[in-house]
């Protein structure tokens, strides 16, 4: 990524370990981005997903035999299920995000973490000669400065949202809702320097950097939403329950509140994937484990299923999106409460990013720990935004939920500190996008 030429667009999926679901990293030259309008109806959203799945089949020779880079915005869920009443309402139109974006992969550099090998895939393209030439030279310096990132609402305001959610839960309205808040700041310089700092400091298992017409997206996600292999085997690994990094693992695992958060979402995800899976194939492979990440400790579960033969990746997305871990239970009511209480459009936050393969495979993260960069008055001036949320349940303690949002924002603060204290090596600004 550091040597990727400025004149060549970039869509990168950067994995952080050697597991079955995150062994591949893909640095791709994307074709023209296709988008789904924010006002799309359910029929239009479903048709867009089906057309995308058809167009990817038999594409270039990528792992999974071809495909597209895919970004799904949170509000796509409202288009797929209008009863949620979660359509975009708050955004300034000049900064609105599409419901979804996708781009076919022209050519790509692919890394296999298991074998530590790089190789080139995709169609022959003039961009590859430019990329190869750039790899021959030392990494030029690239810079991005970012002022302080501040929450757009106070801790007291967020505490009031938690209190209201708790009241709704105690009234029997719902069992859990994931309520989020936003951090915001202004930056200047080369956005790829920001991407390098964010991804290198987070060690994200399911990281991504997308340069799209609507803006840039840096995802430092630790969470796998969906992994569908070429044999129809499906895995989802929801995260729920959080402690700061270094917290006592045994105490965390004994917490009934954190366990309840996860168990509710396990039930929800079982139900969601069952809508597209063979009857009887859905099972909980792992009910709950503690999983350490760079800045936090999470509870994780693992659920397996097998996709029905008459279903494809588009059907799977339509049945499960948005991820249950960032909505709540029951899902539709949780999304209604989120819409009622949050004063911002989530857009790329809490959606999904990944690869739709030409053989019908699908790998998507949950777009948590995600920042967006959108151009301001000058091509080198950027509005940086980041969102973090907490699963609110009946046992939630307001002060702890407030602290949890700050713990989840630490991954971005680490990137900001890296930008302040060290120069990031890479090429000149990516003036082609944003």
DSSP label at 349?
A: T
Point out the catalytic residue in the list 81, 211, 240, 291: 240
Examine the residue annotation and report whether 223 is marked as an active-site residue of this protein. Answer: yes
The first and second tokens of residue 103, run together, are 């781009």
Close Cβ partners of 35 (under 8 Å, ≥ 6 residues apart): 98, 99, 100, 101, 102, 213, 214
Choose among 251, 363, 355, 342: nearest CA to 297: 251
Q: Where are the alpha helices (DSSP H) in 275-330?
A: 313-320
β-pairing, 362-365 with 224-228? antiparallel
Point out the catalytic residue in the list 75, 81, 211, 223: 223
End-to-end CA distance of the chain: 18
Measured CA to CA, the distance from residue 317 to residue 310 in angstroms comes to 14
Examine the residue annotation and report whether 240 is marked as an active-site residue of this protein. Answer: yes
Measured CA to CA, the distance from residue 172 to residue 180 in angstroms comes to 21
Q: What is each CA distance from 60 to 108, 256, 322, in whole angstroms? A: 10, 48, 28
The first and second tokens of residue 210, run together, are 């997308």
Q: Is 432 exposed, middle or buried (0-12, 13-18, 19+ CB in 10 A)?
A: exposed
SS3 120: strand
Choose among 9, 162, 1, 32: nearest CA to 101: 32
364 within 8 A of 313, measured Cβ to Cβ: no
| Residue with token string 């007291």 | 156
Phi, psi dihedral angles at 171 (to 5 degrees):
-80, -5
109 within 8 A of 89, measured Cβ to Cβ: no
Sign, CA dihedral 261-265-267-268, equals positive
The Cβ-side half-sphere exposure at 415, using a 13 Å CA radius, reads 31
Choose among 356, 358, 322: nearest CA to 339: 322
Phi, psi dihedral angles at 183 (to 5 degrees):
-105, 150
Measured CA to CA, the distance from residue 137 to residue 37 in angstroms comes to 41
Q: Is 119 exposed, middle or buried (0-12, 13-18, 19+ CB in 10 A)?
A: exposed
Beta carbons within 10 angstroms of residue 164's beta carbon? 16
Q: Which residues are catalytic?
A: 223, 240
């Amino acid at each position: 990524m550091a040597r990727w030429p400025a004149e060549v667009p970039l869509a990168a999926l950067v994995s952080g370990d050697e597991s079955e679901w995150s062994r591949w990293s893909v640095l791709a030259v994307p074709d023209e981005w296709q988008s789904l309008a924010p006002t799309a109806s359910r029929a239009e959203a479903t048709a867009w997903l089906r057309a995308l799945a058809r167009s990817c089949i038999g594409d270039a020779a990528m792992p999974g035999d071809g495909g597209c880079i895919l970004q799904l915005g949170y509000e796509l869920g409202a288009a797929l299920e209008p009863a949620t009443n979660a359509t975009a309402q708050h955004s300034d139109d000049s900064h609105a995000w599409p419901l979804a974006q996708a781009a076919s992969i022209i050519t790509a550099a692919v890394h296999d973490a298991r074998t530590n090998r790089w190789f080139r895939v995709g169609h022959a393209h003039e961009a590859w000669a430019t990329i190869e030439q750039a790899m021959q030279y030392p990494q030029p310096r690239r810079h991005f400065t970012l002022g302080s990132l501040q929450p757009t609402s106070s801790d007291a305001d967020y505490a009031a949202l938690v209190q209201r959610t708790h009241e709704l839960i105690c009234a029997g309205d719902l069992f859990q809702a994931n309520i989020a808040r936003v951090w915001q700041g202004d930056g200047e310089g080369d956005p790829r320097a920001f991407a390098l700092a964010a991804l290198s400091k987070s060690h994200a298992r399911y990281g991504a950097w997308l340069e799209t017409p609507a803006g840039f997206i840096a995802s430092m996600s630790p969470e796998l939403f969906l992994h569908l292999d070429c044999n129809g085997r499906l895995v989802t690994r929801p995260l729920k329950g959080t402690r700061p990094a270094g917290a006592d693992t045994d105490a965390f695992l004994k917490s009934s509140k954190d366990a309840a958060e996860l168990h509710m979402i396990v039930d929800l995800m079982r139900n969601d994937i069952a809508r597209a899976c063979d009857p009887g194939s859905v099972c909980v492979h792992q009910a709950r484990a503690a999983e350490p990440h760079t800045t936090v400790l999470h509870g994780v579960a693992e659920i397996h299923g097998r996709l029905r033969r008459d279903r494809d990746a588009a059907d799977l997305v339509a049945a499960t999106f948005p991820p249950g871990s960032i909505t709540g239970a029951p899902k539709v009511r949780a999304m209604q409460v989120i819409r009622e209480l949050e004063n911002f459009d989530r857009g790329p936050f809490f959606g999904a990013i990944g690869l739709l393969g030409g053989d019908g495979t699908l790998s998507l993260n949950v777009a948590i720990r995600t920042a967006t960069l959108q151009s301001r008055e000058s091509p080198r001036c950027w509005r940086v935004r980041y969102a973090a949320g907490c699963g609110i349940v009946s046992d939630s303690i307001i002060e702890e939920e407030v602290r949890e949002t700050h713990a989840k924002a630490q991954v971005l603060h680490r990137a900001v500190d890296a930008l302040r204290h060290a120069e990031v090596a890479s090429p000149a600004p990516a003036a082609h996008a944003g």
